[in-house]
Amino acid sequence: MGRFAILVNPLETLYDYERWAIRILLVVMILFGIGMAGHALDIENPLSEAVYTYFLDSILNESGGDSGYNYVNTASYGIGLALFVVSLSGLLRIAGIDGSDAMLIALLPWVLWAPLGEVIEDAGLFSSSFAPWFVSPGVHFQTAAWVVLAGLIGHKVSNGTIETEAEKNAATRHFSAFLIAAQASIYGMSVLSSDNVEILSEAYDREVMLIIAMFGVTAPYWLAGSYVERFDHIHRIVYSTGVGGSIVLFGMLAGFAIGRETSEMTAWPIVIVFAVPILVCYALHSFGKDAAEESLKLGYTPGVLPPGVTEGDYLESKTALGEEIDELRKKAVLASPAVLLPVGGQIGDGIATWIGIDYFGYTEKHVISSMVTDVLDTSLTFTILKVGIAGVICWFYSQAIFEYRQQHLRVLIALCLMVVGMAPALRNVFRLTLGV
């Protein structure tokens, strides 16, 4: 029997800030675990009280929406997310995982997976035991667990005993299908056993749910031979599992939507929330694509320095070629997925929130967002803020210089911005469309 081990690059080391981020996260996790253990053992102490008062109670007792946000957990989630991004970027580099834009594309389906799960919970379709697992922000930890599991299996396929490329490709498809089938079984049983689905009875179309789930489970096979073949095995299994899993969750919502009255659903919000960001991203891509192509011809990935070149070396370089590349970089990065996806997500989130609150009577649960919407008694102020954040993202990536060893950090920053922008935008617009 082969022993599972993560192969690491012996020539790679962690930056000092990555080491500190990992240490701080470990301390926080230990303290959190001690707090949970104290509560389980019924030992009264300030740590357990804080853990449950500010974090766990608001998740476990919530149904049909986000967990209760307060200033303490909002600040903690923000700091924790930043520490996670920094820590993970170093660990992925040490493990030798490709940190190019392919990594961001491979993770994109999971940005859809999480809000689909949240909307299923919003509609009350999960059983009571599963519902808390799909309450934000907990749903993102669950998403991360599936991604890590898929990535570990992909790493094993890439570096294990399988020799030929054809066998590795087949193993990748089989393992992806297995993970998707596991999701279909676990979450499907939860939906079919929930009280609300029993109450809906004939209004919930189980056949549609099953047919779409089968389509999702077979995703790794019908994706074979497409653009997915450009991915390495790790990215391929992560991407295929995310696509198939999202289709499975979509099927659960489709079974619910078919049984609803037409008057209960609204189509126009989804058109606006998708159309406006797409148009903005198309304009940005058109503006930067020529510079991106020229930069690649010169051998430079926009925004990323070549191997062995440090930021200091680059800034001190005054050659004509260096100045040309620098000018190209500022435009070229705007055509990158690391810019386009976060920008589109932020704009979409602002529009979806504005429509949901001002036109459909939804309320804002996030404390910071609520403060913004209260400024002029309209959520349009939040939309303006989000458009401003999109502009800051463009400015940041046009100015930032990432060393080759910092590629993972560049991608994970973009993913972080998508989690707080694109994910809530999708969740909100799906809720508006289904009327839940």
Give the model's pLDDT for residue 33. 94
| 7 pLDDT more than 70 | no
Each residue of 253-291: pLDDT tens digit?
999 999 888 888 999 999 999 999 999 999 999 999 999
> Would you state the structure tokens that stand for residue 137, as one six-digit string?
């922000």
> At 4, is the pLDDT very low, low, confident or very high (cuts 50, 70, 90)?
very low
Q: What is the mean pLDDT of residues 386-392?
A: 97
| Per-domain residue ranges of the chain | 13-96, 97-260, 268-434
> Dmax over Cα atoms in the chain, in whole Å?
72
Q: Tell me the average pLDDT across 50-61.
A: 82
Q: Which two tokens stand for residue 273?
A: 């929330």
The answer to whether residue 108 scores a pLDDT higher than 90 is: yes
- Helix axis angle, 16-40 relative to 71-94, nearest 10°? 130
Buried b (16+ CB within 10 A) or exposed e, 140-152: beebeebbebbbe
Q: What is the pLDDT of residue 68?
A: 67
Mean pLDDT of the chain: 90
pLDDT at 25 over 50: yes
pLDDT digits (tens, 9 = 90+) for 285-315: 999 999 999 999 888 889 898 888 888 887 7
pLDDT at position 11: 59
Query: Quick one: what percent of the chain has pLDDT higher than 70?
Result: 95
> What are residue 402's phi and psi, to 5 degrees?
-100, 130
Mean pLDDT to the nearest integer, 346-375: 88
Q: What is the structure's pLDDT at 281?
A: 97
Helix (H, G, I), strand (E, B) or coil at 402: strand
Structure pTM? 0.91
Q: How confident is the model at residue 9 (pLDDT cuts 50, 70, 90)?
A: low
Overall average pLDDT of the 71-87 stretch:
91
Query: Picking from 49-58, 168-177, 422-431, which range would have the lowest pLDDT averaged per residue?
Result: 49-58
